[in-house]
């Protein structure tokens, strides 16, 4: 009888699936989510809005009203096209598939968002990781050398980077864009609400740059909506590998509704998290043996004496964080702590104090 080994690619058989732990009963601070729920009145209004969605019909493949509102609310420059995805993950996959010519390579600083490398594997193209410096800042000279050597099809720059929280200097990004003249440069702004800096206003200045964002970190992780903005010259081609009905009707309706509440609800929550990030960073830095790396995201990367021991202590206290210490050598003994509500952060700090005496 045929088995998976007879049919499925060997490299896929050797992989492990993306780990998502069960967070039931835990203070969930491992996935960079906005911890705040919608106000009750707004949640009821959203529910009424979603009740009117035609679930028996396929979604619009390119929902014009949603895209127009997204452009207006998010400040997408005139002349840009917008491509929607089932989260940024799907857009990353589409880019890899579309650019997977024989011999193509995908390049990014590392450690970085794991899906850059995973998408390259799935598309069977080579991933080139350029290590950050020891202090987890961008090694611009190494990036320029790698671009010259490998001539990648795609260069990813997360702005700010996950899991380090680093916001790369603007002049370094400009040098990389200039050096990557034969590449598509994807600037990933998943954490823009917390960095408050963006390349989106300048995206059309360069012939080879697109900007990718998501509404997940803004407080809508559950609806899975990412978007890519840039010149139609690029997006019209990438759209060809997009599944025809990739963004479902409930996501489209929820996003269009919530775009009317960016300023009065979601940006207010983001501002609270930015303030809480500063307080949490100061409190963790005061604990014995910790190094808190500068972060422009809604999370902190923290080096501790023993990441496994600290992680297990937090787990025993029903607090879930991300142990990234095995992901890359530069992350040795590092944990990634999502910024939560003041109460959640207080619980996490209390548990940290038990082990970091």
- Return the percentage of the chain with pLDDT > 70, whole number: 100
Confidence band (pLDDT; 50, 70, 90) for 138? very high
Encode pLDDT of 276-328 as tens digits.
999 999 999 999 999 999 999 999 999 999 999 999 999 999 999 999 999 99
Confidence band (pLDDT; 50, 70, 90) for 15? confident
pLDDT at 122: 95
- Return the percentage of the chain with pLDDT > 90, whole number: 94
pLDDT at 19: 80
* Residue 272 Ramachandran class (φ > 0 left, ψ -120 to 50 alpha, else beta): alpha
CA dihedral 96, 99, 102, 104 (to 10 degrees): -80
Confidence band (pLDDT; 50, 70, 90) for 22? confident
pLDDT at 135: 96
pLDDT at 44: 98
The pLDDT of residue 17 is above 90: no
Q: Is 20 or 333 the better-scoring residue by pLDDT?
A: 333
**CA–CA separation, 117 and 109 (whole Å):** 11
Judge whether 138 and 173 are in contact, CB under 8 Å: no
- What global pTM score does this model have? 0.95
Q: How many CB atoms lie within 10 A of CB 139?
A: 16
* All structural domains of the chain: 4-40+263-355 (3.90.1150.10), 54-260 (3.40.640.10)
Mean per-residue pLDDT, 180-187: 97
pLDDT at 323: 97
Spatial neighbors of 283 by CB under 8 A, at least 6 apart, are 345, 349
Spatial neighbors of 64 by CB under 8 A, at least 6 apart, are none
**Mean pLDDT, the chain, integer:** 96
Mean per-residue pLDDT, 241-258: 97
Encode pLDDT of 63-90 as tens digits.
999 999 999 999 999 999 999 999 999 9
The β-bridge relationship of strands 334-338 and 105-110 is unpaired
Confidence band (pLDDT; 50, 70, 90) for 18? confident
pLDDT at 357: 74
The pLDDT of residue 38 is above 90: yes
């Amino acid at each position: 009888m045929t088995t998976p080994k007879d049919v499925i690619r060997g490299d896929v058989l050797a992989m492990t699936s993306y780990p998502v732990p069960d967070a039931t009963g835990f203070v969930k601070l491992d996935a960079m989510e906005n911890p705040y729920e919608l106000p009750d009145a707004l949640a009821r209004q959203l529910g009424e809005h979603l009740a009117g969605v035609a679930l028996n019909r396929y979604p619009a493949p390119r929902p014009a009203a949603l895209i127009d509102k997204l452009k207006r609310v998010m400040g997408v420059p005139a002349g840009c096209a917008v491509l929607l995805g089932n989260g940024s993950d799907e857009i990353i996959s589409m880019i890899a598939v579309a650019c997977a010519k024989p011999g193509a390579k995908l390049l990014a600083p590392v450690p970085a968002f794991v899906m850059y490398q995973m998408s390259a594997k799935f598309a069977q193209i080579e991933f080139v990781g350029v290590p950050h410096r020891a202090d987890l800042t961008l090694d611009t000279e190494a990036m320029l050398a790698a671009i010259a050597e490998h001539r990648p099809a795609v260069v990813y720059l997360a702005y700010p980077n996950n899991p380090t929280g680093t916001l790369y200097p603007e002049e370094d990004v400009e040098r990389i864009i200039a050096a990557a003249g034969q590449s598509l440069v994807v600037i990933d702004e998943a954490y823009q609400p917390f960095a408050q800096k963006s390349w989106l206003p300048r995206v059309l200045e360069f012939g080879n740059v697109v900007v990718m964002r998501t509404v997940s970190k803004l407080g809508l992780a559950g609806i899975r909506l990412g978007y890519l903005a840039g010149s139609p010259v690029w997006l019209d081609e990438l759209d060809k590998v997009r599944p025809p009905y990739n963004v479902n009707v409930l996501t489209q309706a929820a996003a269009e509704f919530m775009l009317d509440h960016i300023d009065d609800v979601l940006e207010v929550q983001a501002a609270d998290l930015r303030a809480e990030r500063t307080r949490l960073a100061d409190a963790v830095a005061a604990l014995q043996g910790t190094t808190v790396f500068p972060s422009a995201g809604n999370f902190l990367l923290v080096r501790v004496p023993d990441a496994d021991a600290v992680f297990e202590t937090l787990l025993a206290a029903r607090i879930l964080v991300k142990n990234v210490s095995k992901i890359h050598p530069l992350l040795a003994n590092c944990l990634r702590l999502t910024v939560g509500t003041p109460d959640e952060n207080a619980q996490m700090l209390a548990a940290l104090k038990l082990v970091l005496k």
